Chain A
Amino acid sequence: DVKVTQSSRYLVKRTGEKVFLECVQDMDHENMFWYRQDPGLGLRLIYFSYDVKMKEKGDIPEGYSVSREKKERFSLILESASTNQTSMYLCASSALTIGENLFGPGTRLTVL
């Protein structure tokens, strides 16, 4: 059964901490995405990657960075967590030629 996995379902961090959210897909997909989900705002794209070591900014990249050292793994980094980054974070992947995103279960991050 193909899937996208995220390292944590729930995470609580303190303001100023460096936070790593990990995502792994087993479908050999070229594209990977990090979205942020907030009530009433839907999903907003933070960063995406078309290939290993390649990344592009999405709609809300401020305060975030990403890393893709291997094709199957895409990490989201909060360099210095702030309370306004409390949210649900969703990772997704897709094959190169189609748009269908396959999503992970999400990580609910709380920053105190």
Chain B
Amino acid sequence: AQSVTQPDIHITVSEGASLELRCNYSYGATPYLFWYVQSPGQGLQLLLKYFSGDTLVQGIKGFEAEFKRSQSSFNLRKPSVHWSDAAEYFCAVGGYNQGGKLIFGQGTELSVKP
């Protein structure tokens, strides 16, 4: 079955600390992978995406993610978290010729301590 798992429902980090949000997927074909961020009461904004090529991808707001095919993972990282990064983060997977149909994880809520 195709699925995305985000093992951490809620993470709290101190401002300035590093961050890693985990994402594991199960997908029958070559995956396209995405991370989205959602601020309270807002829609989802694309942080970064992986289609092919370099397995380390850079996104907006200083985020990066690494695709590891052998581990079926696409973890999101940021070296130094800012208070404005507090939000909910969603990992998603899709495929070529799937017309944009994505499967989302459950989401990870990030809180940032001063």
Q: What chain A residues lie within 8 Å of B100 (beta carbons)?
A: 31, 33, 92-96, 98-101
Footprint of A on B, CB under 8 Å?
Answer: 4, 6, 9, 32, 34, 36, 41-46, 49, 51, 90, 92, 94-95, 97-102, 104-107
Footprint of B on A, CB under 8 Å?
Answer: 4, 30-31, 33, 35, 40-45, 48, 50, 90, 92-106, 108
When the two chains form their complex, are residues B46 and A100 in contact, meaning their CB atoms are under 8 A apart? yes
A/B pair count, beta carbons within 8 Å: 74
Report if A106-B43 is in contact (Cβ < 8 Å); known contacts: A99-B94, A100-B49: yes
Q: What chain B residues lie within 8 Å of A45 (beta carbons)?
A: 101-102
With CB as the reference atom, state the residue of chain B lying closest to A50: B99
Q: Which of B95, B104, B107 contacts A99 (CB 8 A)?
A: B95
CA distance A35 to B100 in the complex (A): 13
When the two chains form their complex, are residues A30 and B90 in contact, meaning their CB atoms are under 8 A apart? no
When the two chains form their complex, are residues B102 and A99 in contact, meaning their CB atoms are under 8 A apart? yes
Q: What chain A residues lie within 8 Å of B44 (beta carbons)?
A: 43, 90, 92, 101, 103
CA distance A32 to B51 in the complex (A): 20
Nearest Cβ in chain A — how far from B80, in angstroms? Answer: 27
CA distance A97 to B32 in the complex (A): 12
* 19 residue pairs A–B, Cβ–Cβ below 8 Å: A31-B99, A31-B100, A33-B100, A42-B4, A44-B104, A45-B102, A90-B44, A92-B44, A94-B100, A98-B51, A98-B100, A100-B100, A101-B34, A101-B46, A101-B100, A103-B45, A106-B42, A106-B43, A108-B41
